[in-house]
Amino acid sequence: MGKKNKNKNKQTQIKTVSGAVSFGMQKSKGQHLLKNPMILSEIINKSGIKSTDTVLEIGPGTGNLTMLLLDAAKKVVAIELDPRMVAQLIKRVGISPYQNKLQLIQGDVLKQKLPFFDLCVANIPYQISSPIVFKLLSHRPLFRAAVLLIQREFAMRLIAKPGTEFYCRLSVNVQLLSKVDHIMKVSKKNFVPPPKVESSVVRIEPIHPLPKINFLEWDGMLRICFSRKNKTLGALFKQKKIFDMIYQNYKKFKENNGNIISNNQDNKESNPIVSSEINENDNNESNIIKGLLNNINDEEKMELDNDDEEKDEEDEKEKEKDNEEKMENDEEKMNNNEENINVPNDEKSQFRIHLINLLKNNNFMQQRAVKMSITNFLELLNLFNNNGIHFN
Ligand code: SAH
């Protein structure tokens, strides 16, 4: 934290590539200019820009990439936060044959309504990578692809597969909505000033049509599953906070739709009330966008994530013990049902048994988010929703 603040206003005096003006680069704005012409043209080559394309560039800086984009595309729309960069870029483009092709917007990309574009090609400010990706993926009409230069670790998260080190909620959400490929590594020495971290170029192609799910439900469930990504689902759903939350949702849902605990605890048959709700196509797209916007407001805590996880785990351990014991008690009583030992019949205990049985009977009890594929998560959500368990 202290480290971060120290760097906030640190400026590196720099000559821009166009050689004209020099001014301080602000690390707080992620200002690391890509200066290697080979890497710049490699990015252009890998982007597949057509001469009819409108290209969106986020954070053009002094225009190193912009000039090449202008040469390849019909039009470039560039959004830049820093007025000094904007002034520099206007100068640079002004003395080129491209000035009519460039639309320059000064402002924060996260606060702008994005214009129409076919492709997004950009060396983006790393500190807002996650909100930028979700903003792009919720943009309509859909674009062909986004070719982004990003922090290597963030790239690893975007492309991570189940069971690998970087697999996380971000991987699942982004891969649900797009196909992500790693294009090339870019070493820090290609930037001025060099960032502390290594970088990578990725290509993100939105998937169309989107899977038919209620994204708010999806997002709510994933947040739970990844709250401790190495914990079994059985242990997670026994946690008091989580259990109480879904029990409240269940009661709310029941008030609106009648009793939903049934013996039909499998994945195959769906509850008509629920399925009509989640299969409504129009609803789906706007739900996805709403859910994505949820993600935009999340802070990207790349380096902190693991530490937090460990600390929280310690804190939770004690608290959870009690609740898990209670759950196990209920389960035990339920298993001994035939002997007619005091079966708890209050609604909450019944629901607890319903939930545990659902996970057990469908082999989810011992699964862990870190190893589950998107298909597994889709199956789990379907199972939950068809059995009255909701997450928003
Ligand atoms: N594309 C340039 C500069 C990359 S540095 C190059 O490769 O050389 C990232 C750029 O994003 C900087 O110019 C910075 O001012 C800009 N930036 C930072 N935050 C931004 C935001 N919220 N909206 C738009 N631009 C932003």
Ligand 1: does its nearest atom lie under 6 Å from the Cβ of 61? yes
Measured distance CA(167)–CA(323) in Å, rounded: 29
Query: Is the distance from the beta carbon of residue 64 to the nearest atom of ligand 1 less than 6 Å?
Result: yes
The pTM (predicted TM-score) of the whole model is: 0.82
Q: Give the pLDDT confidence score for residue 38 in this predicted structure.
A: 97
Q: What is the pLDDT along the chain (392 residues), one digit of tens a residue?
A: 344 444 444 455 444 444 344 678 888 898 999 999 999 999 999 999 999 999 999 999 999 999 999 999 999 999 999 999 999 999 999 999 999 999 999 999 999 999 999 999 999 999 999 999 999 998 999 999 999 999 999 999 999 999 999 999 999 999 999 999 999 999 999 999 999 999 999 999 999 888 888 888 999 999 999 998 889 999 999 999 999 999 999 988 888 776 655 555 555 444 333 333 344 444 556 566 666 666 655 544 443 333 344 444 554 555 555 555 566 565 555 555 444 445 567 889 999 999 999 999 999 999 999 999 999 999 999 999 999 999 98
- Tell me what pLDDT residue 307 has: 36
Measured in whole angstroms, the distance separating CA 74 from the mean position of its chain's CA atoms is 31
From the list 205, 173, 60, 55, the residue with the least C-alpha distance to 125 is: 60
pLDDT at 4 (0 to 100): 42
What's the confidence (pLDDT) of residue 356?
Answer: 95
Domains of the chain: 25-206 (3.40.50.150), 215-386 (no CATH)
Predicted confidence at residue 6, as pLDDT, reads 43
Predicted confidence at residue 229, as pLDDT, reads 83
**Residue minimizing CA distance to atom 18 of ligand 1:** 29
Q: Is 80 in the pocket of ligand 1 (CB under 6 A)?
A: yes
User: Quick one: what percent of the chain has pLDDT higher than 90?
Assistant: 63
- 85 Cα: distance to centroid of ligand 1 (angstroms): 9
Distance CA 216, CA 201 (A): 30
Hey, CA dihedral for 32, 35, 36, 37, is it positive or negative? Answer: positive
The residue contributing the CA closest to ligand 1 atom 6 is 33
Report pLDDT for 323: 57
**Per-residue pLDDT, 327:** 60
Share of the chain above pLDDT 70, in %: 72
What pLDDT, on the 0 to 100 scale, is given for residue 215?
86
Testing ligand 1's pocket by substitution, the residue of 16, 17, 29 carrying the most ligand atoms inside 8 A of its CB is 29
Q: How far apart are CA 239 and CA 218, in angstroms?
A: 19
Q: What's the confidence (pLDDT) of residue 9? A: 46
Ligand 1 within 6 A of CB of 171:
no
- DSSP letter, residue 28: G
Continuous segment of H or E residues that includes residue 123: strand 119-123
d(CA 60, ligand 1 centre) in Å: 6
Pairing of strands 54-58, 119-123: parallel
CA 331 to ligand 1 centroid distance, Å: 55
Cα 281 from Cα 275, distance rounded (Å): 11
The conformational region for residue 378 under phi > 0 = left, psi -120 to 50 = alpha, else beta, is alpha
Q: Is the CB of residue 131 below 6 angstroms from any atom belonging to ligand 1? A: no
How far is ligand 1, taken at its centre, from the CA of residue 62, in Å? 9
Which atom of ligand 1 is found nearest the CA of 149? 7
Give, as one character, the DSSP assignment of residue 338: G
Which of ligand 1's atoms lies nearest the C-alpha of 29? 18
